[in-house]
């Protein structure tokens, strides 16, 4: 829940909110609506005070990260795609718990769309108060990334973790266009 609220707050800041107009996550409410025959969920975050609503799509990995203590247990990666209907969609990766092995100036994440060759993505930690570095933001050609999501039914994303090496996460991305039509 905190992850959704933090992403919502980031979106408001990115959309041009002034510093004085930032909302506290306690004033926003969110919900998730699963789209039929799709792993994609429409995430809805409402700013009740300003009567604004933000919607985006999210899908969780099919597999667990299998990280060492203290980050062991259920631990999946979530792929969030915001502003998918614009020319500049934003892509975020969020781990339930753990620390990315990503320096101050970013790091590389590797992505495989379907059975195509592996591609490198440049990401950096999206450091927002309360996230403990669990969010990565993609700073590359997000429009091309989105086009590949629409074309392929599966992607694999490999992410580096501090003292845990790299982990690969598999996503079933079937039904993205149907889910996007619900936005």
What local confidence, expressed as pLDDT, does residue 24 receive? Answer: 31
pTM for this model (two decimals): 0.77
What local confidence, expressed as pLDDT, does residue 105 receive? Answer: 83
- In the chain, what are the domains? 2-180 (2.60.40.1880)
pLDDT in tens, 10-20: 444 344 333 33
Mean pLDDT score of the chain: 81
Provide the pLDDT confidence category of residue 82 given band limits of 50, 70 and 90: very high
| Phi, psi of 13, deg, nearest 5 | -65, -45
């Amino acid at each position: 829940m905190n992850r959704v609220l933090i992403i919502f707050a980031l979106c408001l800041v990115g959309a041009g909110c002034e510093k004085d107009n930032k909302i506290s996550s306690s004033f926003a409410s969110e919900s998730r609506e699963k789209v039929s025959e799709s792993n994609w969920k429409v995430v809805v975050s409402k700013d009740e005070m300003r009567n604004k609503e933000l919607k985006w799509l999210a899908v969780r990995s099919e597999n667990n990260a299998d990280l060492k203590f203290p980050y062991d247990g259920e631990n999946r990666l979530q792929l969030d795609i915001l502003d998918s209907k614009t020319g500049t969609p934003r892509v975020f990766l969020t781990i339930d718990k753990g620390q990315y092995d990503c320096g101050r100036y970013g790091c590389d994440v590797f992505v495989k769309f379907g059975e195509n060759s592996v591609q490198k993505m440049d990401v950096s930690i999206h450091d927002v108060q309360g996230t403990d570095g669990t969010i990565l933001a993609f700073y590359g050609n997000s429009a091309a990334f989105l086009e590949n999501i629409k074309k392929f039914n599966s992607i694999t994303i490999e992410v580096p973790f501090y003292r845990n090496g790299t982990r690969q996460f598999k996503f079933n991305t079937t039904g993205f266009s149907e889910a996007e039509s619900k936005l």
